[in-house]
Amino acid sequence: MKVLVVGGGGREHALCWALAASPLLDTLWCAPGNAGIAEVAECVPIGAEDIPALVAFATEKAVDLVVCGPEGPLTLGLADACAAAGLKCFGPSQAAARLEGSKTFTREVADAAGAPGARWQRFTDPAAAKAYIRDHGAPIVVKADGLAAGKGVVVAATVAEAEAAIADIMESRIHGESGATVLIEECLIGQEVSFFALCDGKTALPLGAAQDHKRVGDGDTGPNTGGMGAYSPPPVFTDALRDETMARIVNPVLAEMARRGTPFRGVLFVGLMITADGPRLIEFNVRFGDPECQALMVRLRSDLLPALLAACDEELASFDLRWEPLHSLVVVMAAKGYPGSYAKGTEIRGLERAAQVPGVQVFHAGTSRREDGALVATGGRVLGVTATGATLAEAQRSAYAAVDAIDWPEGFCRRDIGWRAL
């Protein structure tokens, strides 16, 4: 089979790495890819959101499956454009991708499906939003309605902090038009878990869970990021909680989406808060998480390619997945200054030493090669140093041993990934 992966981050490197191991695979392309992806796939210089160029390339190469990594192309209609061209695409239609593209839509669908979540209100007027905050007090959650690269949510500990979030999102428009509308939600108390389900429009198959570390600093301090590390499986997410999540959230939402005529096919990322009353929905995303995908792919024993095909072909009812009895942990190495401004083009050395640590796989996010062959950083989040182990503590030790083998003075990482479980 010929496969095109769309995207160029750590999540896409993990997907390419897993797909490259499939005996069904003949040719693997990635657009635009990165320096790490280039070791397992042929990189194509097409932007992830250049839908016409992606479809033209896939048509020219007679690609059997397009696999979309990030949310942007899906909310722009990549799956619909592929379908119109007679191409198979793993990922939801533009209408179904609204589950990530609009937090208001998510809450409306979840409420219609009876899925348990937070109390919420929608606002388009900043003054009304601030008045609501003053009436309800803190802690309280402020969310930009649209896409904001994982940075559009503020968990405000004080009323002043929540009002400042409204000013930033709605008045200063730090996330652009995504902040024209905000949701203000009840602050749920508990541990946050990322749960993933493979969906074919009718059937959902549990795909594992992970815990992410959103804040930039140790001890969950500092501003939110796209994710500074993750581990899988999270001890807090028991089999009973997984089954409850499927029964009360995933399956009812899948049925509600089908009832609306917008069946969901692809991977459903269910952001959960594990509260004293059980799992509660925080948000949906319509793609694998990053870095959660890296933590999942290194534990997956089954061939990924037929699983993605089964989701496209409504064949998940007769499908099963097998997992290695291992723990995994990802440490994200980022450029100093992230999530604010940071330098690009700094050289990274020592990846060969890091790869020699048993159980370690280094996934690239923001990297490229200079003409002289040197590896350089091109993004904020740059590497996902991923390790497996018989225990989570073992995986953590291996991951940080690999981090310490990498020579990149301009980079940094959190030193406490996995702290909740350990």
Residue 102 lies in a domain: no
Q: Is the domain of 279 the same as that of 196?
A: yes
Residue 96 lies in a domain: no
- Lowest-confidence segment of 109-113, 149-153, 249-253, 305-309 by average pLDDT: 149-153
Rounded CA-CA distance 41/57 in Å is 15
Tens of pLDDT along 178-215? 889 999 999 999 999 999 999 999 999 999 999 999 99
Residue 103 lies in a domain: no
Tens of pLDDT along 61-74? 999 999 999 999 99
Residue 78 exposure: Cα atoms within 13 Å on the Cβ side: 34
Q: Is the domain of 292 the same as that of 355?
A: no
Tens of pLDDT along 124-133? 999 999 999 9
Residue 101 lies in a domain: no
Give the pLDDT confidence score for residue 192 in this predicted structure.
94
Q: Is the domain of 195 the same as that of 312?
A: yes
Q: Is the domain of 216 the same as that of 298?
A: yes
- Lowest-confidence segment of 12-21, 118-127, 239-248, 329-338 by average pLDDT: 118-127
Strand 65-68 vs strand 120-123: parallel, antiparallel, or unpaired? unpaired
For residues 29-50, give the mean pLDDT.
98
The CATH number covering residue 53 comes to 3.40.50.20
For residues 262-287, give the mean pLDDT.
96
Give the pLDDT confidence score for residue 152 in this predicted structure.
84
Give the pLDDT confidence score for residue 362 in this predicted structure.
98
For residues 241-253, give the mean pLDDT.
98
Q: Is the domain of 162 the same as that of 196?
A: no
Cis bond upstream, residue 233 (ω within 30) = yes
Confidence at 224, pLDDT banded by 50, 70, 90 = confident
Range of the domain at 227: 191-318
Residue 311 lies in a domain: yes
Residue 219 lies in a domain: yes
Q: Is the domain of 334 the same as that of 301?
A: no
Q: Do the beta carbons of residue 97 and residue 286 sit within 8 Å?
A: yes
Residue 420 lies in a domain: no
The CATH number covering residue 177 comes to 3.30.1490.20
Confidence at 101, pLDDT banded by 50, 70, 90 = confident
Give the pLDDT confidence score for residue 150 in this predicted structure.
67
Q: Is the domain of 22 the same as that of 44?
A: yes
Of 272, 299, 318, the residue at which a domain comes to its end is 318
For the chain, what's the residue count? 422
Tens of pLDDT along 289-301? 999 999 999 999 9
Q: Is the domain of 78 the same as that of 175?
A: no
Q: Is the domain of 239 the same as that of 204?
A: yes
Q: Do the beta carbons of residue 342 and residue 375 sit within 8 Å?
A: no
Q: How many CB atoms lie within 10 A of CB 340?
A: 9
Q: Is the domain of 198 the same as that of 290?
A: yes
Q: Is the domain of 195 the same as that of 179?
A: no
- Among all chains, which residue has been given the structure tokens 């083998």? 405
Of 166, 186, 206, the residue at which a domain comes to its end is 186
- Global pTM reads 0.94
Residue 418 lies in a domain: no
Domain count, the chain: 4
Confidence at 151, pLDDT banded by 50, 70, 90 = confident
Query: Is the per-residue pLDDT at 147 higher than 90?
Result: no
- Proportion of the chain above pLDDT 70, given as a percent: 100
Mean pLDDT of the chain: 96
Of 157, 186, 215, the residue at which a domain comes to its end is 186
- Proportion of the chain above pLDDT 90, given as a percent: 94
Q: Is the domain of 235 the same as that of 248?
A: yes
For residues 372-399, give the mean pLDDT.
98
